[in-house]
Amino acid sequence: MKNTITLKRDLSLSHVVTMGLAWMSPMIFFTSFGVLHDSSGGMLLAAYALAFIAILFTAASYGQMARAFPVSGSAYTYVSKAMNPFLGFLVGWAILLDYLFSCIVAVLMFGVNLNAQFPAVPSSVWIILLTLIVMIINVIGIKPLANISKLFVFMQILFIAGFCGLLVYKALEGGITADLNPLAAQEGVPFSAILAGASLVCFSFLGFDSITTMAEETKDPRKTIPRAILLIVLSAGVMYFVTAYLIQLTAPGFSYVNVDSAGYELMQNLGGSLLAGIFTFVIIFSILSQGLSSMTTVTRLLFVMGRTSLLPQRFASVHPKFRTPVFNIVLMSIVSLSALFISLETAIKFVSFGALTAFLFVNLSVIAHYMIRQKQRSPRDILFRFICPLSGAGFVLYLIALLDSASLMLGAGWLAAGLVYYGIRKFVSSSKESPAHVVTES
């Protein structure tokens, strides 16, 4: 009898948390500082507070579904089992956009940043180099990858802690002149502006869902995955809140020349060229860790879709030595090289559409599974398994409505391609199952 080779269950709670934070990249606070500061009318802390409350509903829904179905597959698995397999395929196809293009975004940003530091070396060289590094580390095994991600995440947290320490020192040295109220409104800033800022800030929390694809490589996933989701969102929230508050106290009137490089300008303003140089160094490694985690996420989703025959069985293969889906890793590494010719703006639009679609249906799947199928309707269930996920779904719908027409068109085109693929796959499958010959009576 042939033994089935499975993924290796190696990940502890700390591994899973750091893998999620690596995908999220805490340094995104600085890389998106200018855009988010402008969109919220300078009320960045208030925008982060609103976004945190809103995203917490969806994070709780992922935790609920991870307990019910402690297997890999993320939104694809949850919606398939709780609602409908066909709907699950569409959601899985949509989330594939998020996970796949996150890899492309990571290698593209790596190339852009390194090219800015070393103009003599084309960005294409850095893109190919990072793709090879990410591929090799992912092939070797999940635990070495998780340990590397842990190191890079620790590097980011250490930088953020040091930066906050510098802000505290400057605040005490120069005297605090700003309002100590963390949510103090600036004159002339309407609540609608803060809400608009919060809608963009939500994307700083993307990544907590990625760890659900690693359930079959996690020890005791039924408990570990929900705990990790909560820790990831809370950790990110604390880092964002504290940093935004201290900037508000220390540099309330800070202005920047270029919205895209506002974070770098902030470093130069507060710490000179030394801090700016360290900042750039940490950013590069944060992008590397995001690329590693993104590759893990997309290859595990493909693994589950291959195992359920929605993709060819080849996608469900596991290397006997490394216990990783090597075929998926190599294939996705090749796809990641599309960063050589795709624009960053287009890639980000695909990520946004895929993530929000998955968030919407995971919230709804909680209601479908617990309230409808399991008929769990106690007052506690109504609060946590109906009102909370419904609130999460409502906010996600609001975010989807804010996407520009190009994002919606790209997403619709991708779903249409998925429907065509699904139809062809089902037709081929039914043809194979039909009798190959006619049986006649004797």
pLDDT per residue as tens digits for the range 180-225: 665 555 556 677 777 777 877 887 888 888 899 899 999 999 999 9
pLDDT per residue as tens digits for the range 63-75: 999 999 998 888 9
* Residues 232 and 52 sit within 8 Å (Cβ to Cβ): no
pLDDT at 439: 45
pLDDT per residue as tens digits for the range 230-277: 999 999 999 999 999 888 888 777 777 777 778 888 898 888 889 988
Give the residue extent of every domain in the chain.
Answer: 13-426
Is residue 91 pLDDT above 90, yes or no?
Answer: yes
21 residue type, one letter: L
Three-state secondary structure string covering 126-154:
HHHHHHHHHHHHHHHCHHHHHHHHHHHHH
**Interior angle at CA 139, CA 133 and CA 140, nearest 5:** 95
Going by C-alpha positions, the residue among 248, 18, 276, 33 that lies closest to residue 156 is: 18
pLDDT band at 441 (very low <50, low <70, confident <90, very high): very low
What is the pTM for the complete model shown? 0.86
133-162 average pLDDT score: 93
Buried b (16+ CB within 10 A) or exposed e, 263-302: bbbbbbebbeeebbeebeebbbbbbbbbbbbbbbbbbbbb
pLDDT per residue as tens digits for the range 19-38: 999 998 899 888 888 878 88
435 residue type, one letter: P
Fold observed for domain 13-426: Amino acid/polyamine transporter I (1.20.1740)
Tokens of 290: 């995001």
pLDDT at 240: 92
pLDDT per residue as tens digits for the range 152-177: 999 999 999 999 999 888 888 766 65
pLDDT per residue as tens digits for the range 355-392: 889 999 999 999 999 999 999 999 999 999 999 999 99
Tokens of 252: 């309330």
Share of the chain above pLDDT 90, in %: 44
Tokens of 12: 């502890």
pLDDT at 308: 86
